Structure 1
Amino acid sequence: MVEFLARWAITSIALAAAAQVMDGIGFNGPDHGQAELEHKLVPLLGVALVLAVVTALVKPVLVVLSFPLILLTLGLFLIVVNALLLLITDWLADLLDVGFHVTGFWPAVGGAIIISITTWVLDAIVGVEEKE
């Protein structure tokens, strides 16, 4: 349970970093001050949970289907896979009326890179390990 909460927090921080840095990724509502924190914290946690579920369920299928491209590009195609996961998360968040949006493929690629790097750094700092 502690690992799940740590991973959820790390994903939330990484998603917040992507939304802060990338112009095409964001949440609806106020864009500064205490009002922004109050209106966007719950949607951020919800979208992080949706992203975690999408990653757990869809990513293995996409990785298997795109394995030749991943091999051919020496793993760089995983950025495209992660961008697709972010676009799927955007679509699900829209269905759930969370107020999260990704405006296109290239912002999703940028967001995927930011989320991957942030998650990697925070995993190294916190030391969260997946059970085998």
Structure 2
Amino acid sequence: MIKFALKVVLLAAVFYGLTYFDVLPGLEVLPNPDGPLGEYGTYLWIGLIFGVVNAIVGPVLRLLSLPFVLLTLGLFLLVINAALLALTAGITDRLTIDGFTTALLGGLILAVAGWAADQLLDR
């Protein structure tokens, strides 16, 4: 449980970095300064939603798309990550994504950040 909470915090930091430094212009987070944790609480909320979507829906999508993943030598996993990010944006009204390319690049960055978090937390 601690590992998942730390991963959510890391994902929230990645979302904050992506929007603060305007890495992906089509990815926008609408912070809520009146929320319980202020502006940063919005990023934690989005990180939590993305973590839950990735933990529950992610394995199902990866299993169902296994033939495509094998056929494309794993490149289809980028499309799955984009779909998970788009699903997160569909669940919350605080995250907006403008187009498939933004979702694809955002999914790639979040997948690398999630992998790095797993590597750091497994030690």
Is 1:128–2:94 an aligned residue pair? no
* Cα distance in 1, alignment partners of residues 96 and 47 from structure 2: 13
Is 1:7–2:2 an aligned residue pair? no
* Cα distance in 2, alignment partners of residues 58 and 47 from structure 1: 16
* Cα distance in 2, alignment partners of residues 128 and 122 from structure 1: 6
Structure 1 segments of 4+ aligned residues over 6 angstroms from their partners: none
Q: Which amino acid aligns with 1:3?
A: K
* Cα distance in 1, alignment partners of residues 115 and 109 from structure 2: 10
Question: Residue 67 of structure 2 corresponds to which residue in structure 1?
Answer: 68
Identity %: 33
Question: Residue 101 of structure 2 corresponds to which residue in structure 1?
Answer: 106
* Cα distance in 1, alignment partners of residues 96 and 39 from structure 2: 13
CA-atom RMSD, angstroms?
Answer: 2.2
TM-score (norm 1): 0.78
Higher relative contact order (CA 8 A, sep 6+): 1
Q: Which amino acid aligns with 1:28?
A: L
* Cα distance in 2, alignment partners of residues 73 and 113 from structure 1: 16
Q: Is the 8 A contact 1:83 1:108 kept in 2?
A: yes
Summarize the Cα distance change of 1:60–1:120 in structure 2 as closer, same or farther, 3 Å threshold: closer
Q: Is the 8 A contact 2:31 2:40 kept in 1?
A: no
Q: CA deviation at 1:15?
A: 2.2
* Cα distance in 2, alignment partners of residues 14 and 66 from structure 1: 27
Structure 2 residues without counterparts, runs of 5 or longer: none
Is 1:25–2:5 an aligned residue pair? no
Between the two proteins, the alignment pairs up a number of residues equal to: 117
* Cα distance in 1, alignment partners of residues 74 and 18 from structure 2: 21
Structure 1 residues without counterparts, runs of 5 or longer: 31-37
* Cα distance in 1, alignment partners of residues 39 and 113 from structure 2: 19
TM-score (norm 2): 0.83
